[in-house]
Protein backbone atom coordinates (compact mmCIF):
# COMPACT_ATOMS: atom_id res chain seq x y z
CA UNK A 1 0.00 0.00 0.00
CA UNK A 2 1.19 3.55 -0.73
CA UNK A 3 2.66 5.14 2.38
CA UNK A 4 2.22 8.83 1.64
CA UNK A 5 -1.16 9.62 0.04
CA UNK A 6 -4.79 8.48 0.27
CA UNK A 7 -5.56 8.68 -3.44
CA UNK A 8 -3.66 5.51 -4.50
CA UNK A 9 -5.32 3.73 -1.56
CA UNK A 10 -8.77 4.72 -2.78
CA UNK A 11 -7.90 3.83 -6.38
CA UNK A 12 -6.70 0.41 -5.22
CA UNK A 13 -10.12 -0.43 -3.79
CA UNK A 14 -11.78 0.73 -7.01
CA UNK A 15 -9.56 -1.67 -8.95
CA UNK A 16 -9.71 -4.67 -6.59
CA UNK A 17 -13.32 -4.56 -5.36
CA UNK A 18 -15.29 -2.30 -7.72
CA UNK A 19 -18.68 -3.89 -7.01
CA UNK A 20 -18.37 -4.03 -3.24
CA UNK A 21 -20.43 -1.51 -1.28
CA UNK A 22 -18.14 1.32 -0.20
CA UNK A 23 -20.60 3.84 1.18
CA UNK A 24 -24.08 3.98 2.66
CA UNK A 25 -25.30 7.53 3.10
CA UNK A 26 -28.33 9.03 4.75
CA UNK A 27 -30.15 11.71 2.71
CA UNK A 28 -32.12 12.61 5.82
CA UNK A 29 -35.46 11.89 7.53
CA UNK A 30 -38.11 10.56 5.19
CA UNK A 31 -35.62 9.18 2.69
CA UNK A 32 -34.19 5.69 2.46
CA UNK A 33 -30.50 4.95 2.77
CA UNK A 34 -28.50 4.96 -0.46
CA UNK A 35 -25.59 2.60 -1.21
CA UNK A 36 -22.67 3.22 -3.56
CA UNK A 37 -20.03 0.73 -4.71
CA UNK A 38 -16.36 1.67 -4.95
CA UNK A 39 -16.78 1.97 -8.72
CA UNK A 40 -19.81 4.25 -8.40
CA UNK A 41 -18.08 6.37 -5.78
CA UNK A 42 -15.05 6.73 -8.03
CA UNK A 43 -17.27 7.81 -10.93
CA UNK A 44 -19.00 10.47 -8.83
CA UNK A 45 -15.64 11.66 -7.53
CA UNK A 46 -14.38 12.09 -11.09
CA UNK A 47 -17.46 14.12 -12.02
CA UNK A 48 -17.10 16.41 -9.01
CA UNK A 49 -13.40 16.84 -9.78
CA UNK A 50 -14.26 17.82 -13.38
CA UNK A 51 -16.88 20.26 -12.07
CA UNK A 52 -14.26 21.88 -9.83
CA UNK A 53 -11.93 22.17 -12.83
CA UNK A 54 -14.66 23.83 -14.88
CA UNK A 55 -15.49 26.34 -12.16
CA UNK A 56 -12.07 27.18 -10.75
CA UNK A 57 -9.53 26.10 -13.35
CA UNK A 58 -6.88 23.40 -13.14
CA UNK A 59 -4.48 24.42 -10.40
CA UNK A 60 -2.96 22.35 -7.61
CA UNK A 61 -3.22 23.67 -4.07
CA UNK A 62 -6.55 25.48 -4.46
CA UNK A 63 -8.49 25.63 -1.20
CA UNK A 64 -12.07 24.41 -1.61
CA UNK A 65 -14.19 25.86 1.21
CA UNK A 66 -17.65 24.53 2.04
CA UNK A 67 -20.14 24.09 4.87
CA UNK A 68 -19.94 20.51 6.12
CA UNK A 69 -22.99 18.59 7.35
CA UNK A 70 -21.82 14.98 6.82
CA UNK A 71 -23.50 14.89 3.42
CA UNK A 72 -22.55 12.91 0.34
CA UNK A 73 -21.30 16.13 -1.24
CA UNK A 74 -18.90 16.69 1.69
CA UNK A 75 -17.32 13.30 1.10
CA UNK A 76 -17.18 13.77 -2.68
CA UNK A 77 -15.48 17.16 -2.31
CA UNK A 78 -12.84 15.54 -0.10
CA UNK A 79 -12.21 12.70 -2.55
CA UNK A 80 -12.21 15.10 -5.51
CA UNK A 81 -9.60 17.23 -3.72
CA UNK A 82 -7.45 14.13 -3.20
CA UNK A 83 -7.85 13.28 -6.88
CA UNK A 84 -6.88 16.73 -8.19
CA UNK A 85 -4.33 18.04 -5.69
CA UNK A 86 -6.68 20.53 -4.07
CA UNK A 87 -7.06 21.30 -0.37
CA UNK A 88 -10.33 20.50 1.39
CA UNK A 89 -11.40 23.21 3.87
CA UNK A 90 -14.66 22.08 5.51
CA UNK A 91 -16.41 24.45 7.90
CA UNK A 92 -18.85 23.04 10.43
CA UNK A 93 -22.38 23.74 9.22
CA UNK A 94 -23.56 24.20 12.82
CA UNK A 95 -21.50 27.35 13.38
CA UNK A 96 -23.12 30.73 13.82
CA UNK A 97 -23.21 32.87 10.70
CA UNK A 98 -20.68 35.34 12.10
CA UNK A 99 -18.17 32.65 13.05
CA UNK A 100 -18.62 30.81 9.75
CA UNK A 101 -18.05 34.03 7.81
CA UNK A 102 -14.86 34.66 9.79
CA UNK A 103 -13.50 31.20 8.96
CA UNK A 104 -14.50 31.55 5.29
CA UNK A 105 -12.62 34.84 5.08
CA UNK A 106 -9.53 33.41 6.75
CA UNK A 107 -9.57 30.30 4.56
CA UNK A 108 -8.99 32.50 1.49
CA UNK A 109 -10.22 29.83 -0.91
CA UNK A 110 -12.98 29.06 -3.39
CA UNK A 111 -16.42 28.83 -1.79
CA UNK A 112 -18.62 25.91 -2.88
CA UNK A 113 -22.32 25.55 -2.10
CA UNK A 114 -22.98 21.91 -1.29
CA UNK A 115 -26.26 22.04 -3.20
CA UNK A 116 -24.33 22.88 -6.39
CA UNK A 117 -22.11 19.79 -6.24
CA UNK A 118 -23.17 17.46 -9.13
CA UNK A 119 -24.11 14.29 -7.28
CA UNK A 120 -26.88 13.51 -9.83
CA UNK A 121 -26.98 13.57 -13.62
CA UNK A 122 -28.88 16.87 -13.95
CA UNK A 123 -27.45 17.55 -17.40
CA UNK A 124 -23.82 17.03 -16.38
CA UNK A 125 -21.75 15.02 -18.86
CA UNK A 126 -21.21 11.64 -17.14
CA UNK A 127 -19.22 9.90 -19.87
CA UNK A 128 -15.82 8.47 -18.84
CA UNK A 129 -13.97 11.00 -21.01
CA UNK A 130 -15.61 13.84 -19.05
CA UNK A 131 -14.13 12.73 -15.72
CA UNK A 132 -11.16 14.69 -14.40
CA UNK A 133 -8.02 12.51 -14.64
CA UNK A 134 -6.22 11.85 -11.35
CA UNK A 135 -3.43 14.32 -10.59
CA UNK A 136 -2.84 14.02 -6.83
CA UNK A 137 -0.50 16.43 -5.11
CA UNK A 138 2.71 15.40 -3.38
CA UNK A 139 2.90 13.73 0.00
CA UNK A 140 4.00 16.87 1.83
CA UNK A 141 1.47 19.20 0.22
CA UNK A 142 -1.57 20.26 2.24
CA UNK A 143 -4.51 17.86 2.02
CA UNK A 144 -6.93 19.55 4.41
CA UNK A 145 -7.37 22.53 6.65
CA UNK A 146 -9.29 21.50 9.77
CA UNK A 147 -10.35 23.97 12.44
CA UNK A 148 -9.65 23.60 16.14
CA UNK A 149 -12.66 23.56 18.44
CA UNK A 150 -11.73 26.86 20.08
CA UNK A 151 -11.67 25.44 23.61
CA UNK A 152 -9.19 28.03 24.86
CA UNK A 153 -8.99 30.60 22.07
CA UNK A 154 -10.24 31.60 18.63
CA UNK A 155 -10.43 28.57 16.29
CA UNK A 156 -7.27 28.04 14.25
CA UNK A 157 -7.07 26.49 10.81
CA UNK A 158 -4.69 23.52 10.95
CA UNK A 159 -2.86 22.50 7.78
CA UNK A 160 -2.36 18.74 7.52
CA UNK A 161 -0.40 17.11 4.71
CA UNK A 162 -1.31 14.02 2.71
CA UNK A 163 1.47 12.08 4.44
CA UNK A 164 0.41 13.21 7.91
CA UNK A 165 -3.19 12.14 7.41
CA UNK A 166 -2.35 8.73 6.01
CA UNK A 167 0.27 7.88 8.64
CA UNK A 168 -2.03 8.94 11.45
CA UNK A 169 -4.88 6.79 10.13
CA UNK A 170 -2.50 3.85 9.67
CA UNK A 171 -1.41 4.15 13.28
CA UNK A 172 -5.02 4.23 14.47
CA UNK A 173 -5.84 1.19 12.37
CA UNK A 174 -2.83 -0.63 13.79
CA UNK A 175 -4.18 -0.02 17.30
CA UNK A 176 -7.78 -0.89 16.41
CA UNK A 177 -7.90 -3.14 13.33
CA UNK A 178 -10.86 -3.32 11.00
CA UNK A 179 -11.33 -5.29 7.81
CA UNK A 180 -13.13 -5.14 4.47
CA UNK A 181 -16.16 -7.02 5.81
CA UNK A 182 -16.64 -4.58 8.70
CA UNK A 183 -19.20 -1.77 8.73
CA UNK A 184 -18.16 1.55 10.24
CA UNK A 185 -20.83 4.09 11.11
CA UNK A 186 -19.83 7.73 11.49
CA UNK A 187 -22.20 10.29 12.99
CA UNK A 188 -19.57 12.72 14.27
CA UNK A 189 -18.69 15.74 12.10
CA UNK A 190 -16.19 14.76 9.42
CA UNK A 191 -15.01 18.37 9.32
CA UNK A 192 -13.23 17.66 12.61
CA UNK A 193 -10.01 15.70 12.94
CA UNK A 194 -11.38 12.83 15.05
CA UNK A 195 -13.93 11.62 12.50
CA UNK A 196 -11.79 12.62 9.51
CA UNK A 197 -8.98 10.27 10.58
CA UNK A 198 -10.57 7.65 12.83
CA UNK A 199 -13.67 7.16 10.66
CA UNK A 200 -12.93 8.37 7.12
CA UNK A 201 -9.20 7.61 7.13
CA UNK A 202 -9.50 4.11 8.56
CA UNK A 203 -12.36 3.35 6.14
CA UNK A 204 -10.25 4.31 3.14
CA UNK A 205 -7.33 2.16 4.25
CA UNK A 206 -9.32 -0.91 5.31
CA UNK A 207 -11.78 -0.91 2.42
CA UNK A 208 -14.71 -1.63 4.72
CA UNK A 209 -18.20 -0.20 4.27
CA UNK A 210 -18.75 3.29 5.64
CA UNK A 211 -22.21 4.45 6.70
CA UNK A 212 -22.48 8.19 7.23
CA UNK A 213 -25.09 10.30 9.00
CA UNK A 214 -25.07 13.02 11.66
CA UNK A 215 -25.72 13.20 15.41
CA UNK A 216 -27.98 11.25 17.73
CA UNK A 217 -30.93 11.19 15.34
CA UNK A 218 -28.72 9.85 12.57
CA UNK A 219 -27.35 7.21 14.92
CA UNK A 220 -30.83 5.94 15.75
CA UNK A 221 -31.99 6.07 12.14
CA UNK A 222 -29.01 4.41 10.46
CA UNK A 223 -27.55 1.99 13.01
CA UNK A 224 -30.56 -0.33 12.97
CA UNK A 225 -30.36 -0.55 9.18
CA UNK A 226 -26.62 -1.14 8.74
CA UNK A 227 -25.77 -2.92 12.05
CA UNK A 228 -22.28 -1.44 12.42
CA UNK A 229 -19.30 -3.29 13.85
CA UNK A 230 -17.43 -0.05 14.66
CA UNK A 231 -18.74 3.33 15.85
CA UNK A 232 -17.00 6.42 17.19
CA UNK A 233 -19.06 8.64 19.51
CA UNK A 234 -18.71 11.40 22.05
CA UNK A 235 -19.63 10.53 25.67
CA UNK A 236 -23.13 12.03 25.61
CA UNK A 237 -24.10 9.89 22.59
CA UNK A 238 -22.41 6.79 24.03
CA UNK A 239 -24.41 7.16 27.24
CA UNK A 240 -27.67 7.76 25.40
CA UNK A 241 -27.22 4.76 23.11
CA UNK A 242 -26.34 2.57 26.08
CA UNK A 243 -29.84 3.11 27.44
CA UNK A 244 -31.30 1.27 24.44
CA UNK A 245 -31.91 -2.50 24.56
CA UNK A 246 -28.64 -4.44 23.96
CA UNK A 247 -29.75 -6.01 20.68
CA UNK A 248 -31.89 -3.14 19.45
CA UNK A 249 -31.05 -0.06 17.40
CA UNK A 250 -28.16 -1.63 15.56
CA UNK A 251 -26.05 -2.83 18.48
CA UNK A 252 -26.27 -6.54 17.69
CA UNK A 253 -23.04 -6.59 15.64
CA UNK A 254 -21.18 -3.84 17.49
CA UNK A 255 -17.67 -4.86 18.60
CA UNK A 256 -15.79 -1.58 19.03
CA UNK A 257 -16.98 1.75 20.41
CA UNK A 258 -14.48 4.59 20.18
CA UNK A 259 -15.01 7.56 22.44
CA UNK A 260 -13.50 10.95 21.63
CA UNK A 261 -13.63 14.54 22.81
CA UNK A 262 -13.52 13.26 26.40
CA UNK A 263 -13.33 9.90 28.12
CA UNK A 264 -16.26 7.79 29.29
CA UNK A 265 -16.76 7.53 33.02
CA UNK A 266 -15.91 4.14 34.51
CA UNK A 267 -19.51 3.06 35.11
CA UNK A 268 -20.50 3.67 31.49
CA UNK A 269 -17.28 2.03 30.27
CA UNK A 270 -18.05 -1.07 32.34
CA UNK A 271 -21.66 -1.29 31.14
CA UNK A 272 -20.54 -1.28 27.50
CA UNK A 273 -17.94 -3.91 28.32
CA UNK A 274 -20.64 -6.09 29.87
CA UNK A 275 -22.42 -5.98 26.50
CA UNK A 276 -19.34 -7.41 24.82
CA UNK A 277 -18.29 -4.10 23.30
CA UNK A 278 -14.68 -2.93 23.58
CA UNK A 279 -14.49 0.76 24.47
CA UNK A 280 -11.50 2.49 22.91
CA UNK A 281 -10.20 5.70 24.42
CA UNK A 282 -7.61 7.75 22.62
CA UNK A 283 -5.97 11.12 22.82
CA UNK A 284 -4.83 13.77 20.41
CA UNK A 285 -5.17 17.24 18.97
CA UNK A 286 -6.26 18.66 15.65
CA UNK A 287 -2.62 19.75 15.28
CA UNK A 288 -1.50 16.10 15.41
CA UNK A 289 -3.96 14.71 12.94
CA UNK A 290 -5.34 13.98 15.70
CA UNK A 291 -4.18 10.64 17.16
CA UNK A 292 -1.24 10.71 19.58
CA UNK A 293 -2.26 7.75 21.75
CA UNK A 294 -4.81 4.98 21.43
CA UNK A 295 -5.91 2.02 23.46
CA UNK A 296 -6.06 -1.31 21.66
CA UNK A 297 -8.72 -4.01 21.77
CA UNK A 298 -6.52 -6.01 24.16
CA UNK A 299 -5.58 -3.29 26.65
CA UNK A 300 -8.61 -0.97 26.89
CA UNK A 301 -9.02 0.37 30.43
CA UNK A 302 -11.21 3.15 31.85
CA UNK A 303 -9.39 6.38 32.64
CA UNK A 304 -6.49 5.60 30.29
CA UNK A 305 -6.01 6.52 26.62
CA UNK A 306 -3.51 3.86 25.57
CA UNK A 307 0.17 4.14 24.69
CA UNK A 308 1.64 6.63 22.22
CA UNK A 309 1.15 5.31 18.68
CA UNK A 310 4.04 4.08 16.58
CA UNK A 311 5.15 7.12 14.61
CA UNK A 312 5.35 9.57 17.52
CA UNK A 313 8.31 10.52 19.65
CA UNK A 314 7.26 11.98 22.97
CA UNK A 315 8.73 13.49 26.09
CA UNK A 316 7.37 14.84 29.35
CA UNK A 317 8.80 18.03 30.81
CA UNK A 318 7.46 18.63 34.32
CA UNK A 319 4.41 16.60 33.35
CA UNK A 320 3.75 18.55 30.13
CA UNK A 321 3.59 16.45 26.96
CA UNK A 322 5.59 17.28 23.82
CA UNK A 323 5.45 15.19 20.63
CA UNK A 324 7.34 15.00 17.36
CA UNK A 325 6.62 12.95 14.25
CA UNK A 326 5.48 12.85 10.62
CA UNK A 327 1.81 13.43 11.48
CA UNK A 328 2.38 16.83 13.08
CA UNK A 329 0.66 19.73 11.34
CA UNK A 330 2.42 21.75 8.66
CA UNK A 331 1.30 24.87 10.51
CA UNK A 332 -1.65 27.12 11.21
CA UNK A 333 -3.25 28.60 8.13
CA UNK A 334 -1.38 31.77 7.15
CA UNK A 335 -0.18 32.29 10.75
CA UNK A 336 3.55 31.66 11.07
CA UNK A 337 3.90 33.38 14.49
CA UNK A 338 1.24 31.15 16.07
CA UNK A 339 2.87 28.09 14.48
CA UNK A 340 6.28 29.05 15.90
CA UNK A 341 4.78 29.35 19.37
CA UNK A 342 3.43 25.80 19.12
CA UNK A 343 6.29 23.95 17.36
CA UNK A 344 9.93 24.59 18.25
CA UNK A 345 12.79 24.65 15.68
CA UNK A 346 13.51 20.95 16.35
CA UNK A 347 9.94 19.96 15.47
CA UNK A 348 8.60 19.35 18.98
CA UNK A 349 4.95 20.32 19.37
CA UNK A 350 3.76 21.51 22.76
CA UNK A 351 0.41 19.81 23.42
CA UNK A 352 -0.28 22.03 26.41
CA UNK A 353 -1.63 19.00 28.26
CA UNK A 354 -0.62 17.59 31.62
CA UNK A 355 -0.07 13.85 31.28
CA UNK A 356 0.98 10.97 33.54
CA UNK A 357 2.17 7.52 32.53
CA UNK A 358 0.39 4.63 34.23
CA UNK A 359 3.17 2.62 35.92
CA UNK A 360 1.61 -0.80 35.36
CA UNK A 361 0.49 -0.55 31.73
CA UNK A 362 2.58 2.26 30.26
CA UNK A 363 -0.59 3.92 29.00
CA UNK A 364 -1.16 7.66 29.22
CA UNK A 365 -3.54 9.28 31.66
CA UNK A 366 -4.66 12.76 30.60
CA UNK A 367 -4.80 15.05 33.62
CA UNK A 368 -6.00 18.17 31.79
CA UNK A 369 -4.75 21.40 30.30
CA UNK A 370 -1.63 22.72 32.00
CA UNK A 371 -3.05 26.24 31.86
CA UNK A 372 -6.16 25.10 33.75
CA UNK A 373 -4.33 24.04 36.93
CA UNK A 374 -5.84 25.78 39.96
CA UNK A 375 -3.42 26.94 42.67
CA UNK A 376 -5.33 27.28 45.95
CA UNK A 377 -4.46 29.78 48.65
CA UNK A 378 -3.20 26.90 50.79
CA UNK A 379 -0.55 26.17 48.13
CA UNK A 380 -2.09 22.94 46.86
CA UNK A 381 -2.60 22.49 43.12
CA UNK A 382 -5.76 20.98 41.65
CA UNK A 383 -6.15 19.70 38.09
CA UNK A 384 -9.85 20.43 37.48
CA UNK A 385 -10.38 17.86 34.73
CA UNK A 386 -10.40 14.85 37.07
CA UNK A 387 -12.86 16.49 39.48
CA UNK A 388 -15.13 17.55 36.62
CA UNK A 389 -15.01 14.11 35.02
CA UNK A 390 -16.20 12.52 38.25
CA UNK A 391 -18.99 15.04 38.70
CA UNK A 392 -20.18 14.47 35.13
CA UNK A 393 -20.40 10.72 35.84
CA UNK A 394 -23.37 11.46 38.14
CA UNK A 395 -26.51 10.71 36.05
CA UNK A 396 -28.30 14.09 36.47
CA UNK A 397 -25.15 16.09 35.60
CA UNK A 398 -24.70 17.34 32.05
CA UNK A 399 -21.67 19.62 32.53
CA UNK A 400 -19.41 20.53 35.43
CA UNK A 401 -16.74 23.15 35.97
CA UNK A 402 -14.62 23.75 39.05
CA UNK A 403 -12.75 26.90 39.98
CA UNK A 404 -11.53 28.91 42.93
CA UNK A 405 -13.51 31.36 45.03
CA UNK A 406 -12.39 32.90 48.32
CA UNK A 407 -9.35 30.62 48.34
CA UNK A 408 -11.30 27.36 48.13
CA UNK A 409 -12.50 25.03 45.40
CA UNK A 410 -16.02 25.58 44.04
CA UNK A 411 -18.05 23.52 41.55
CA UNK A 412 -20.72 24.70 39.13
CA UNK A 413 -22.88 21.93 37.69
CA UNK A 414 -25.47 21.97 34.91
CA UNK A 415 -28.17 19.27 35.17
CA UNK A 416 -29.86 17.64 32.20
CA UNK A 417 -33.22 19.07 33.26
CA UNK A 418 -33.92 22.19 35.33
CA UNK A 419 -35.78 20.23 38.02
CA UNK A 420 -33.33 17.33 38.37
CA UNK A 421 -32.73 16.54 42.03
CA UNK A 422 -29.22 17.38 43.25
CA UNK A 423 -27.81 17.26 46.77
CA UNK A 424 -24.40 18.21 48.06
CA UNK A 425 -23.98 14.68 49.41
CA UNK A 426 -24.65 13.10 46.00
CA UNK A 427 -22.11 15.41 44.35
CA UNK A 428 -19.36 14.79 46.86
CA UNK A 429 -19.78 10.99 47.01
CA UNK A 430 -17.73 10.19 43.84
CA UNK A 431 -15.01 12.56 45.08
CA UNK A 432 -14.53 10.77 48.40
CA UNK A 433 -11.08 9.33 47.63
CA UNK A 434 -9.65 12.65 46.44
CA UNK A 435 -7.52 14.77 48.77
CA UNK A 436 -9.54 17.14 50.93
CA UNK A 437 -8.31 20.20 49.03
CA UNK A 438 -9.53 18.67 45.73
CA UNK A 439 -13.13 18.39 46.97
CA UNK A 440 -15.29 21.48 46.39
CA UNK A 441 -16.33 23.41 49.48
CA UNK A 442 -19.39 24.74 47.69
CA UNK A 443 -21.46 23.51 44.75
CA UNK A 444 -23.88 25.52 42.62
CA UNK A 445 -26.62 24.56 40.17
CA UNK A 446 -26.49 26.52 36.90
CA UNK A 447 -29.29 27.04 34.39
CA UNK A 448 -29.76 27.39 31.43
CA UNK A 449 -27.10 25.08 29.95
CA UNK A 450 -24.13 26.44 27.99
CA UNK A 451 -24.57 26.45 24.22
CA UNK A 452 -22.46 26.89 21.13
CA UNK A 453 -24.65 29.83 20.17
CA UNK A 454 -23.75 31.82 23.30
CA UNK A 455 -20.07 30.93 22.93
CA UNK A 456 -19.72 28.94 26.16
CA UNK A 457 -19.63 25.49 24.54
CA UNK A 458 -17.16 24.20 21.96
CA UNK A 459 -18.20 22.38 18.80
CA UNK A 460 -17.23 19.08 20.43
CA UNK A 461 -19.58 19.78 23.33
CA UNK A 462 -17.11 20.74 26.07
CA UNK A 463 -17.24 23.88 28.20
CA UNK A 464 -15.15 26.90 27.24
CA UNK A 465 -14.03 27.85 30.74
CA UNK A 466 -13.50 31.57 30.41
CA UNK A 467 -16.71 32.18 28.49
CA UNK A 468 -18.78 29.97 30.79
CA UNK A 469 -17.36 31.70 33.88
CA UNK A 470 -18.29 35.10 32.44
CA UNK A 471 -21.78 33.85 31.60
CA UNK A 472 -22.50 32.99 35.24
CA UNK A 473 -23.35 36.67 35.67
CA UNK A 474 -26.58 36.23 33.67
CA UNK A 475 -27.39 32.55 34.24
CA UNK A 476 -29.37 31.42 37.27
CA UNK A 477 -26.89 30.17 39.89
CA UNK A 478 -28.23 28.62 43.11
CA UNK A 479 -26.39 26.89 45.99
CA UNK A 480 -26.81 23.13 46.35
CA UNK A 481 -27.38 21.95 49.92
CA UNK A 482 -28.28 18.74 51.71
Rounded to whole angstroms, the Cα distance separating 258 from 232 reads 4
Stretch (H or E) spanning 69? none
Region of 84 (left: φ > 0; alpha: ψ -120 to 50; beta: rest) is alpha
| Residue spans per domain, the chain | 6-366, 373-479
Lowest mean pLDDT, pick from 13-22, 30-39, 199-208, 372-381:
372-381
Closest CA relative to residue 83, chosen from 124, 127, 45: 45
pLDDT digits (tens, 9 = 90+) for 451-465: 988 889 887 788 988
Q: Is residue 416 within 8 Å of 446, Cβ to Cβ? A: no
SS3 content of the chain, % helix, strand, coil (to 5): 35, 25, 40
Range ranked top by mean pLDDT from 169-183, 252-266, 395-409: 169-183
Domains 6-366 and 373-479 share a fold: no
Q: Work out the burial of residue 181: count CB atoms within 10 Å of its CB; fewer than 13 is exposed, 13-18 middle, 19 or more buried.
A: exposed
Task: Decide: helix, strand or coil at residue 257.
Answer: strand
Question: What phi and psi, each to the nearest 5 degrees, are found at residue 163?
Answer: -65, -45
Task: Decide: helix, strand or coil at residue 214.
Answer: coil
Rounded to whole angstroms, the Cα distance separating 396 from 123 reads 54
Q: Is residue 355 within 8 Å of 319, Cβ to Cβ? A: yes
Q: Is residue 404 within 8 Å of 376, Cβ to Cβ? A: yes
Over its C-alpha atoms, the chain yields an Rg (Å, rounded) of 23
HEC profile of 288-326:
HCCEEEECCCCCCCCCCCCCECCCCEEEEECCEEEEECC
pLDDT top residue among 69 and 373: 69
Does residue 133 carry a pLDDT above 90? no
Does residue 168 carry a pLDDT above 90? yes
Stretch (H or E) spanning 281? strand 278-284
Rounded to whole angstroms, the Cα distance separating 20 from 272 reads 31
Task: Decide: helix, strand or coil at residue 149.
Answer: coil
CB atoms within 10 A of CB 408: 14
pLDDT of residue 178: 96
Res. 260 pLDDT band, cuts 50 70 90: confident
List all residues 6 or more positions away from 239 whose beta carbon is below 8 Å from its beta carbon: 264, 268
pLDDT digits (tens, 9 = 90+) for 13-67: 999 999 999 999 998 787 899 999 999 999 999 999 999 999 999 989 999 999 9
What is the total residue count of the chain?
Answer: 482
Average predicted confidence (pLDDT) for the chain: 92
Please provide the DSSP assignment of 383-394 as one string.
-HHHHHHHHHTS
Which own/partner pairs from 465-471 qualify as long-range (CB within 8 Å, at least 24 positions apart)?
465/152, 465/372, 465/401, 465/403, 466/152, 468/401, 468/412, 469/401, 469/403
Q: Is residue 256 within 8 Å of 229, Cβ to Cβ? A: yes
Res. 150 pLDDT band, cuts 50 70 90: low
pTM of the entire predicted model: 0.87
Does the domain formed by 6-366 have CATH 3.30.1330.10? no
pLDDT digits (tens, 9 = 90+) for 269-304: 999 999 999 999 999 999 999 999 999 999 999 999
| DSSP annotation of 240 | H
Q: Is residue 398 within 8 Å of 451, Cβ to Cβ? A: no
pLDDT of residue 249: 66
Neighbour order of strands in the sheet with 87-92: 110-111, 63-68, 87-92, 142-147, 157-161, 331-332
Looking at domain 373-479, its CATH class is: alpha beta
For β-strands 397-405 and 408-415, DSSP reports them as antiparallel
Amino acid sequence: MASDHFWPVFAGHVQRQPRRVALVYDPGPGSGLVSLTWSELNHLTGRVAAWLDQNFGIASGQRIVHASTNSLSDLLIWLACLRTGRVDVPIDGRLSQSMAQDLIRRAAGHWVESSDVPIRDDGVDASPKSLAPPRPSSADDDAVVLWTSGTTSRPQGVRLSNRALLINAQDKLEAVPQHADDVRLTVLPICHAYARTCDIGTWLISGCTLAISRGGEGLQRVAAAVRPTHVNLVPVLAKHWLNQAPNADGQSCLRVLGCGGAGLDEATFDRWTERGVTVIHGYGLTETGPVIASATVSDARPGLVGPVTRHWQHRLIEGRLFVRGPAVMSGYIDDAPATALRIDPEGWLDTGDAVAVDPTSGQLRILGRCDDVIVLDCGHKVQPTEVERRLESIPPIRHAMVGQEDGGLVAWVVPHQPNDSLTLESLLEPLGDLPTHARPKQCFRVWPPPTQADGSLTMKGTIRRREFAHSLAWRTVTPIVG
